[in-house]
A and B are shown apart, each in its own frame.
Chain A
Amino acid sequence: MANYILKRLWQALICLIGISVIIFFLSHLSGDPVLLMASPEATQEDIEELRRTLGLDKPLYVQYWVFISGVVQGDFGQSIKWSKPCIDVWLSRFPNTLLLGSAAMAFSLIVGILTGVLSAVKVGGWFDKFGKIFALMGQSLPVFWVGLMLILIFSVNLGWLPTSGHGSWKHLIMPAFTLGWYFTAATTRLSRSAMLDVLDSEYIKMARVKGLPEYLVIMKHAFRNALIPIITLAALNLIMLLNGTVITEVVFNWEGIGRLVVDAIFARDYPLVQCCVLIASMLFIATNLFVDILYAYIDPRIHYH
């Protein structure tokens, strides 16, 4: 296992270098940031001067080398828009994203798995039908519409919850639900189908033949086997949530990573874009590695060499 993890870390490193090259060149294709930064009355000399101080006059491969040697030392460069180190800007937003992401994640896991498992156990029953509609709506209703409807009902009409911003748990409810519902839908459907597959198997018949009470049959014998696909999906969801979810953030004026990246792209704040994308890739790779290791603990048939 230790060998496997070392091998995977090595692969992760190569992968990150590749990503850094791609994102570096892509962000430099987006136009000349100097023209945007310079004041309207700047002369050609001022502009050239600015270009020199930013190091943008050097060949691209030199610029890349400067960028990547900074990254290795934890320096992702200065944000053009915020005039602060990129990493500080990222860090100032990440707690918000983490809070919203984990709330939505917790909601989608708890509600999704419970609904999925119960639907599978009582397949064809009223709860199963309710689960199907719940999942269908979660997946097909646009997030911005759900968010606006929630604001309309709970903030404007009922006045129970604040429309936007953050600060208290009340601010978290609507964005977490809006975001969570979408992710719940897939979790529900996958839990249901995974459970149905497993419940049909011989070892479940065997567990019943042994005289195990139904809750042990479902929660121990069936659920443990249905976990692998559920965890795979949960990991993908987690990555998406941690890298920000622009629409929900915009609707509820939530200061998260998603909006930060989109704003940075529009402002041609290429160091900040590079910083956010590179960190997102790291999170992605780390989550995948963690999940792969988790598989081996859940299913003893999985071995890594």
Chain B
Amino acid sequence: MISNDNVLEVQDLKTHFYTSRGVVKAVDGVSFALKRGEALGLVGESGCGKSITCFSLIRLVPRPAGRIVGGKVLLEGEDLLTKNEKEMTKIRGKRITMILQDPMMSLNPVFTIGEQITETIRVHQKLGKMEIWEKVKEMLRLVRIPSPEVRMREYPHQMSGGMRQRISGAIALSCQPSVLIADEATTALDVTIQAQFLSLFKEIQEQANLSMIVVTHDFGIVARACDRVAVMYAGKIVENAETRELFNNPAHPYTIALLNSLPKMEMKVDTLYSIEGQPPELHALPPGCSFAPRCSHVMEICQREYPPQKEVAPGHFARCWLKG
């Protein structure tokens, strides 16, 4: 059930990297809102700033090169960017958390999975030892790990990739977060395991009325798991709409091109469609619209000024001069 209040509101977020080659504007004025119980897909090519956006939300941008230089991240009305590190450790993992991309690497090899779930609960909640164990078992059951009493004494290397990713899920869910970010959480999994993981998470998300940000480059996942989609290009969100609306009426030429790049079963083609050119270098963005050099509808104004955000249909936003 999606309610109307925003759990998370991101306003004009900017994260830059200061490198020897210049300032890389990895996240360059990103704004979006996430409603309670909503799953938002964050889509874009590699290097467009999806992951850095997510790490900015939980304030774990790689340092010292990366810095959040502006904007607001309002989690239930509180601006996370004004918190100090100590306050952030109390928020991270408890109210906003993340599942990382590679389940084979994201669990610590030298601790039992029971310990890895336990410690998360221990730092965030005041519970007795027995209560925590019960909770860990409950979490493992929630993510469908068979015989949790046995499994919680085992180490990550004794489990399959799909299981490990579900355990990452159990860790993420163990403190009932308001917002869960899944950063390419299914990319490293086999397709069948991917489907299982997705449907499990969809189910948990609906039951717990959890708000999720699903970072992916796979429109199949978006179609299956997301209520809304935000399309990112070169550090900016270029289009943001409800999933069905975006698939039916894409407004931005980049979104249209992305959707056209998906191979279709019913059509026989000799060559697959691809977008001409390369994504721009983030430390040397062209003036005006960053997509202009690759856009087939490019106009004179596109090369001068970045288009403002326009509401092209109710709840459907795009940044393109074609739309006004």
A135, B85: Cα distance in complex, Å: 32
**In the complex the two chains form, what is the Cα distance from A207 to B120 in whole Å?**
9
- Tell me the dominant secondary structure on chain A's binding face: helix
Residue B157 at the A interface, CB < 8 A? yes
Among B111, B119, B157, the residue within 8 A (CB) of A210 is B119
A202/B105 in contact, CB under 8 A: yes
A201 within 8 A of B: yes
Residues of A within 8 A of B97 (CB): 209-211
| Partner-binding segment picked from A28-36, A83-91, A242-250, A297-305 | A297-305
Interface pair B107/A224, CB less than 8 Å apart: no
Distance of B215 from chain A, by nearest CB (Å): 14
B30 to chain A, nearest CB (A): 20
In contact, B157 and A221 (Cβ under 8 angstroms):
no
- Contact across chains for A210 and B60 when beta carbons are under 8 A apart: no
B109 in contact (CB, < 8 A): yes
> Which residues of the other chain, A, contact B110 by a CB distance below 8 angstroms?
224-225, 298-301
Q: Bound state CA distance, A225 and B92, in angstroms?
A: 23
Q: Which of A124, A208, A211, A301 contacts B109 (CB 8 A)?
A: A301
Q: Judge if A206 is at the interface, Cβ distance under 8 Å.
A: yes
Cβ–Cβ < 8 Å partners of A201 in chain B = 105
| Closest chain B residue, CB of each to CB of A211 | B93
How many interface contacts (CB-CB < 8 Å) are there between A and B?
Answer: 79
Interface residues on A, range: 20 to 34
Query: Known interface pairs A209-B93, A213-B89. Does A225 touch B109 (Cβ–Cβ under 8 Å)?
Result: yes
User: Considering the chains assembled together, what is the distance between the CA atoms of A300 and B115 in angstroms?
Assistant: 14
Q: Tell me which of A210, A221, A301 contacts B171 (CB under 8 A).
A: A210
Q: Tell me whether A221 and B93 are in contact (CB under 8 A).
A: no
Tell me if A25 is interfacial: C-beta within 8 Å of chain B: no
Closest to A203 in B: B108
* A205 contacts across to B, CB distance below 8 A: 60, 100, 106
Does B98 reach chain A (CB closer than 8 Å)?
yes
Contact with A along B195-234 (1 / 0, CB 8 A): 0000000000000000000000000000000000000000
B298 contacts chain A at the CB level, 8 A cutoff: no
Instruction: Specify which of A209, A213, A298, A301 is in contact with B58 (CB 8 Å cutoff).
Output: A209
User: CB within 8 Å of B: which of A161-219?
Assistant: 201-203, 205-214, 216
Interface size on B, residues (CB 8 A): 31
CB atoms of A211 and B124 under 8 A apart: yes
Tell me the nearest residue of chain A to B112, going by C-beta.
A300
Complex contacts, A203 vs chain B, CB 8 Å: 105-109
- Least Cβ–Cβ distance between B109 and chain A, in angstroms: 6
Do the beta carbons of A299 and B100 come within 8 Å of each other? no
**In the assembled complex, which residues on chain B have CB atoms less than 8 Å from the CB atom of A206?**
100, 106-108, 168, 171
Chain B residues, CB < 8 A from A212: 89, 93, 119-120, 123
Inside 8 A of B123's CB, which chain A residues have their CB? 210-213, 216
**Residue pair A209, B92 in contact (C-beta under 8 Å):** yes
Cβ 8 A contact of A211, one of B64, B89, B101: B89
B145 at the interface (CB under 8 A from A): no
Which residues of chain A come closer than 8 Å to B171, judged between CB atoms?
206, 210
Interface centre among B85, B94, B108 (most CB of A within 10 A): B108
Minimal beta-carbon separation of B198 from chain A (angstroms): 21
User: Which one, A202, A224, A301, contacts B100 given CB within 8 A?
Assistant: A202
**With contacts A210-B93, A216-B119 known, is A299 near B124, CB below 8 A?**
no
| A209 to B171 alpha-carbon distance, docked (Å) | 10
Question: Given the complex, which residues of B lie within 8 Å of A211, measured CB to CB?
Answer: 89-94, 97, 120, 123-124
A residues with a Cβ closer than 8 A to B are 124, 201-203, 205-214, 216, 221, 224-225, 298-301
B residues bordering A, Cβ < 8 Å? 58, 60, 64, 85, 89-94, 97-98, 100-102, 105-112, 119-120, 123-124, 155, 157, 168, 171
**Contacts beyond the supplied A208-B60, A209-B60: 5 A-B pairs with Cβ under 8 Å:** A211-B90, A211-B92, A212-B119, A213-B89, A224-B110
Q: Could you give 15 example pairs across A and B, Cβ below 8 Å?
A: A124-B64, A201-B105, A206-B106, A206-B107, A209-B98, A210-B119, A211-B97, A212-B119, A212-B123, A224-B108, A225-B109, A298-B110, A299-B110, A300-B157, A301-B155
| 7 residue pairs, one from A and one from B, having the closest CB atoms | A211-B93, A202-B105, A211-B92, A210-B93, A203-B108, A202-B106, A300-B155
